[in-house]
Structures are given as structure tokens and as C-alpha cells.
Amino acid sequence: MDHAKKPRILSGIKPTGELTLGSYIGAIKNWVKLYDDYECFYMLADLHAITVRHDPSVLRKRTLEQLAQYIACGLDPEKNVLFIQSRVPAHAELAWVLSCYTMMGELNRMTQFKDKASKQSDNINAGLYTYPVLMAADILIYQADLVPVGDDQKQHVEICRDIAGRFNGIYGDVFTIPEPYIPEVGARIMSLDDPESKMSKSEESGGSVLLMDTPEIIMSKFKRAVTDSEASVRYDAENKKGISNLMTVYSVCTGKSFIEIENEFEGKGYGIFKKAVGEAVVETLCPIREEALRLLKDKAYLDEIIAKGTERASYIAGRTLSKVYKKVGFYRA
């Protein structure tokens, strides 16, 4: 099959914290379905991971673990390009060029910078501020047509489009203008103990279900999940956030509609419902956990996947970077 004729997709997750049920439902599960229609590039976004203080040994360990989990979730490395961002220097090189075509006012409007800066007031570094430029480089270096993102990341795709449009306006048709790809269901899974907040990889409490959690831990977390006092399993995203979040999880794991779920648990207590959701999640995540653990025992195989992904990604990225360098006037003999 000729991959070049397919529209191209690029996405990635930082290897910080542990991948969660939210990561799987909101991102990776949807990525798995895209291969038939798209040429898919999925990175481990380690360059983005260093905007916060980190332990280098932990970053290396989690990068390999995350690759194993990508594959265990169903991302076939023979069908998708799986690669580590820092292994392709063109990302950082293009980011510098694009920073010269990005307006301060655009960066000042980035809500995620304001949020992250408030959480690390002792480390408000330039990388945290210019993060969206690197993200734009990640996307544009592969001429991606679509970018699967959570709804909270749409702003980053918008600034990417603005930067690409500005560059194209000066130098001609250089970059593909990407579109965000946001799944309609399960795009944002919320914390089990704070349904107002997104389930986070960095959360220390029991609100995040991790892909590598044991069945016992998963059931314990769902048992303690926040609900409400109404005792009615009914989807109402505005007034019943906790129950609606659990219904979304159950729907994704079982394939049942919200109406079917409401009928299934009509007249039953929240305890029964939370137990059922926990069991559905265990059934979904246990095979992933077991396969990831198996893959991590075969480091040679994972290193081979990294090498192949680096080669393919570097080829595409290098072509784009060469074109950009020529357009901006960098001398090449």
C-alpha cells in the first residue's frame, strides 16, 4: 500500500508521569483506529518533558516504558512510525526558525503557559513560554494534515496554523496547514476524585487510573470515585459530572450507549455501577499491562523499533527542513 497517498497524522505524549486511562481513551485508543486511512507518526515527546525540573534517569526509563505501552495498546510499529522526538534534531532546528515568525502577542495569549507558570513559579523558563513553537515545529516538520489532540490542546493547533500561514504567506507553499482531530466521545476523561479536572499523568492521588495499575488498585480507585447524592445513573455533563465521567469510561470500555447504560443501571445504586465500571476497565487494561511488561523484557526489540522510527521520521523531517532552510536563505554549497 502506498503510504504517501494517505493524509498524514502526527501526535505524541510526553514521557512524564505514567500513562493513564485518560491517555488511552482520549488519545491512544483513537490512534490505533487511524492507520487504515492515514499515515501515522506518533512520538514520545521528550523535548517537551524538560520544561519542568526532572530526574534524567526517570525520563529515560519512562520513555522506554511509554514506547512499550504504545505498542501494547495496539500501535503496530510495522504500520505506524513510532519515534522519540529528541532523536530527530530537525524538531529543535525548525523550532528556532519558526520562533522568528511567531509573534509575542500570540505566545502571550497561550492559556496553558499561564496555567503551568502558576504551578511552577520558581521555574518560569523560556522553554515553557515557547513550548507552542516547538509543538508547531513537531507538526509542520512532518507536513501533517491532522493532529489528534484533546480539546484543551486546540489552541496550540491554532497557533501552529497561524505560524504556518504566516510563513507560507512570505515564502510560498512550504507547510501543510494542519487541522485538529478531536474524537467526539471520550476526548477528555476526568479525575475520579475531582471530575472538574482532567485525569492527569502527574496526579499523585487516586483520581488517575494508570495503564500499569493492577486490577486490585483499579477496583479500589473506582470504589472511591466521586459521584453525587442523587443515586441515579443518568448522563448530565453539567449537573452530574462524576457520574457522567464514569458513564463515558464505561461506554468506551463496553461499547454501550449512554441510553443503554442508564437502562442497565436503572434503580441500582452507585456502588453497583462503580463496581461494574471498575471491572470493565480491568478487562480493558489488564491485557495492555501484561503485554507492556512482556515487551520491556525485550530491550533489543524496543531499540530496534526506535532505530527504525528514527530513520523514517528523520527522512521526512529532513526533507522539510531542507526546504525551509532554502526558503529563508541559508547557504548550502
pLDDT of residue 21: 95
Is residue 189 within 8 A of residue 205, CB to CB? The reply is: no
Distance between CA atoms of 285 and 283, rounded to whole angstroms?
6
User: Does residue 201 carry a catalytic annotation?
Assistant: yes
User: Does residue 6 carry a catalytic annotation?
Assistant: no
Residue 95 in grid coordinates: 523550532
Residues 79, 84, 88, 92: is their CA dihedral positive or negative?
Answer: positive
Read off the pLDDT of residues 135-171 as tens digits, 9 standing for 90 and up: 999 999 999 999 987 666 788 899 999 999 999 999 9
Least confident residue range of 101-105, 148-152, 182-186, 221-225:
182-186
Kindly list the structural domains of the chain, giving each domain's residue range(s) and its CATH number in brackets, ordered by start: 3-187+299-328 (3.40.50.620), 215-293 (1.10.240.10)
Q: Which of 14, 29, 198, 240 is flagged as catalytic? A: 198
pLDDT exceeds 90 at position 274:
yes
Question: Average pLDDT of 100-111?
Answer: 90
pLDDT band (50, 70, 90) for residue 3? very low
Q: Which of 6, 33, 114, 116 is flagged as catalytic? A: 116
Read off the pLDDT of residues 80-91 as tens digits, 9 standing for 90 and up: 999 999 999 999
Distance between CA atoms of 266 and 54, rounded to whole angstroms?
47
User: Does residue 326 carry a catalytic annotation?
Assistant: no
Q: Which residues 6+ apart lie within 8 Å of 36 measured at CB?
A: none
CA angle 203, 207, 211 (to 5 degrees): 80
Q: Which of 201, 221, 240, 274 is flagged as catalytic? A: 201
pLDDT of residue 203: 55
Find where cell 532546528 sits: 93
Distances in whole angstroms, Cα of residue 172 to Cα of each of 144, 166, 176, 246, 323: 17, 10, 11, 48, 11
